[in-house]
Amino acid sequence: MQILAISLATEKTVEYRGKPVRTGIYKIPVTGPVMVTATGIAGDVQVDLENHGGADKAVYVYSAVNYRWWEGELSRPLANGLFGENLTVSGLTDDEVHIGDTFRIGPIEAQVTQPRVPCYKLGIVMSDPGFVARFHHSGRVGFYLRILREGQVGVGDPIERVGVDPVGLSIRDAMLALGQHPRQQEIIEQALSIPALSQSWRHSLEKRRKR
């Protein structure tokens, strides 16, 4: 497994329902190594800090395997970074990555904290408001990382899983906690038992939990 692309954003203002909206979702692949810190990648603008960025969501990762699937679904080629990810990687699909897993990516170490939950801005990028729900229910949403050891990474750097969380809750299954699914409460309990779970997801799932 390795990094296939690194994508960063500058702030951009787009129109949504007749009003200007600031966003950092429009990411473009860059060349050369980048510095990854506990709060994100140097040079990457994070506009909506309530939903993106911070220590629990420093880096967003998306699998190239998912890109190939979407290209088949949409019948067109898709550029790396289109879905707003920082790192496009080989392997690491949503059904084989678990919340709490740890990875060595080049010189850095990172831990999976939660799935990505798409917002309306993805619909703006795709020129299709309905794509947000489609992406959400696809089981191919990608995941966020908490940075445990900072450093510089570049395209081609190897990725190695160095720890598997004992709960074994995959990113794909974790998304079932957000909908009316027979396993919803089971998934919520599993997620809440994982120390690495992001604080924002922990807060959200506590509200959905039936006691």
| pLDDT surpassing 90 at residue 16 | no
Residue type, 139: G
Report pLDDT for 51.
Answer: 66
| pLDDT surpassing 80 at residue 146 | yes
Averaged pLDDT score across all residues of the chain: 94
Output the domain CATH number for residue 22: 2.40.33.20
Scored b (16 or more CB within 10 A) or e, 180-195 reads eeeebeebbebbeebe
Among residues 143, 122, 141, the alpha carbon closest in space to that of 179 is found at 141
Task: Determine the Cα–Cα distance for residues 80 and 26; give it in Å rounded to an integer.
Answer: 11
Query: Domain range holding 91?
Result: 3-165
- Residue 171: inside a domain, yes or no? no
| pLDDT surpassing 90 at residue 53 | no
- Residue 151: inside a domain, yes or no? yes
Specify the range with the lowest mean pLDDT, choosing from 68-72, 116-120, 161-165.
Answer: 116-120
**Rounded mean pLDDT, 70-82:** 96
Contacts of 59 (CB under 8 A, 6+ apart): 36, 40, 41, 86, 87, 110, 144, 145, 147
- Residue 129: inside a domain, yes or no? yes
Q: How far apart are the first and last CA of the chain?
A: 41
Report pLDDT for 55.
Answer: 93
Report pLDDT for 49.
Answer: 66
**Rounded mean pLDDT, 189-208:** 96
Single pTM value for the model: 0.94
Report pLDDT for 14.
Answer: 82
Residue type, 48: D
- Residue 47: inside a domain, yes or no? yes
Report pLDDT for 78.
Answer: 97
Provide the pLDDT confidence category of residue 125 given band limits of 50, 70 and 90: confident
**Rounded mean pLDDT, 94-104:** 98
* Total domains, the chain: 1
| pLDDT surpassing 80 at residue 47 | no
Report pLDDT for 84.
Answer: 93
Measuring CA to CA, how many Å separate 57 from each of 13, 16, 74, 126, 180? 22, 25, 28, 23, 25
* Helices 184-192 and 199-208, axial angle in degrees (round to 10): 140
| pLDDT surpassing 70 at residue 172 | yes
**Rounded mean pLDDT, 190-200:** 97
Give the pair of three-digit tokens for residue 37.
Answer: 């810190």
